[in-house]
Structure 1
């Protein structure tokens, strides 16, 4: 879990934790959220008034950061695993999408197969899936992957949110939005459970941090059998869903115990 620094130097580790320099394994997203949310009050007013200007500035920073080595420092002369200077673009694009969604726009009534943007996004998602699947068989991947494309594609940085990663997320989001228009699908039981987990994302995330190494241990003891991996994944998802359900139930109980306002009692 990367706790050696905490065990050997607890006081320094606490200081580093407060300064967001020390992050145990699997906890890297939390400091990223803290930094991005801390900057939200500064960015949001400009995003609402000058959306595309903010997106353009964010994109420029995103492109410059890997070239100039912009990142925040971590312990042992390291840097943040999720570079907030680059990942901020995804945050800004999400805000811009929310602003754009609230504006009236014409509806494209053409079939999906005749919408060039959808076709391109779907093709990109499928191609990315094929490439990712081919990583399981390196000899097959190396046999059909052109060297020129390989040189352009790799390495796919997660730290700096490689453009191919960003484009894959945007393409997947666009394809999903096109295939599932409207909000009716969010009323389904499975979608409601996912939303419930999102409402208690911090608690669910912390439980996932605990469950992940346990699942790795069980999988290793079972020889990383595919069936065991499926079982541990489903069991972990079920436990996190159960936690969210329990937290939601407790929240409803707390609301039921709250006394009614004076005006409601006298009405």
Structure 2
């Protein structure tokens, strides 16, 4: 089956939103997803990660039988996990080194990074086992945990899909109603900002969506009534979350203090918002056609090299942070900061894409493996 470019485009879009939001004081942050609905780019990215896990590993396990399939699948998952862990280390240590050099030579304030990272190296050992998670570096640890759990998730699905949904939903409900049900983080008494017990649910739903879509050549069934319901919910989410006051407009928020809307445990509103967005995209043939257009190619390039793009972009946001801390957050400086970040992101994508093409020239099987990479 040909690669579904909608997934790559959505992942690239999510990366753009994440990097914009990671630049402190960035005016473009007023236009990112969290301003217009319950979910944001992180929700979308984790859903798409679950979707890709089935493409990359679940199909391998199913295709090669109970013994050989699991051996191949676990081998691919373990290699990918090690790669992500190494990238996480390189990203954090690069960011901390940049921050320390800037503070040392320019006596700059530490507003753009946690002070503990620049005061000593005591955090290193606990960081290596994910017990110290700085704010800008907490997404890859979440994905590392979810990827490590993916064999269990795939195994439960193969035993009985309903069992998987019940177990996954049970942990998610626990995370939402019991805040202490979280992993420890030395930098936050409440635990991990992205609680894995909650966020595994959207990851699992992404994987199950992939299973269903593959049965229909990569698309979900287009049902008019479901599209109307999804569109109405997204309209409700827009009115509920749009920053009316910041745009000097009359407030049209429907409910104040809406319960169960927290990000850390992955609140129900965020789950529904994400599912509505992805259903409208994955059930649309127009979206599939649009994803093949020239205008979307930059997003596809980012989405197909998401790990390298995220890490290079994150380090670049540290550079942008020290730049604006030193010179201010004027409009010109924000332009320079965004150029720095997206130049790094696209450079990483271009370099990795070239390496992939060079390394995978050859058999049709190798190209198929490349197209399914998570």
Tell me, yes or no, if the aligned pair for 1:55 and 1:96 is still in contact at 8 Å: no
Q: C-alpha offsets along residues 88-145 of structure 1, whole Å, 9 cap, x if unaligned? A: 00110011111112335999677xxxx221111112212322333235439856x543
Among candidates 245, 253, 263, match of residue 145 of structure 1: 253
Question: Does 2:182 correspond to 1:71?
Answer: yes
Q: Which residue of 2 aligns with 1:90?
A: 202
Tell me the TM-score normalized by structure 1.
0.76
Tell me, yes or no, if the aligned pair for 1:48 and 1:99 is still in contact at 8 Å: no
Bigger shift: residues 21-30 or 69-78: 69-78
Structure 2 residues without counterparts, runs of 5 or longer: 1-111, 362-374
State how far apart, in whole Å, the 2-side matches of 1:229 and 1:5 are.
26
Among candidates 167, 173, 176, match of residue 272 of structure 2: 167
Bigger shift: residues 239-248 or 19-28: 239-248
Task: Report the 3-state secondary structure (helix = DSSP H, G, I; strand = E; otherwise coil) of the residue aligned with 2:191.
Answer: coil
Q: CA deviation at 1:51?
A: 1.7
Give RMSD over aligned pairs.
3.4
Aligned residues: 246
Tell me the TM-score normalized by structure 2.
0.56
Structure 1 residues without counterparts, runs of 5 or longer: 257-267
Question: Does 2:211 correspond to 1:99?
Answer: yes
State how far apart, in whole Å, the 2-side matches of 1:135 and 1:232 are.
27
Which runs of structure 2 are paired with 1:14-53 in the superposition (5 Å)?
A: 14-53=124-163
Bigger shift: residues 64-73 or 186-195: 186-195
Q: CA deviation at 1:154?
A: 4.8
Tell me, yes or no, if the aligned pair for 1:124 and 1:168 is still in contact at 8 Å: yes
Q: 1:46 to 1:135 in 2, by over 3 A?
A: same
Q: Which residue of 2 aligns with 1:221?
A: 328
Q: Which residue of 2 aligns with 1:261?
A: none
Question: Does 2:225 correspond to 1:116?
Answer: yes
Bigger shift: residues 28-37 or 15-24: 15-24
Q: 1:80 to 1:116 in 2, by over 3 A?
A: same
Question: Does 2:322 correspond to 1:209?
Answer: no
Question: Does 2:303 correspond to 1:198?
Answer: yes
Tell me, yes or no, if the aligned pair for 2:145 and 2:196 is still in contact at 8 Å: yes
Q: C-alpha offsets along residues 213-258 of structure 1, whole Å, 9 cap, x if unaligned? A: 44455498343x4x875775466335412320122123434557xx
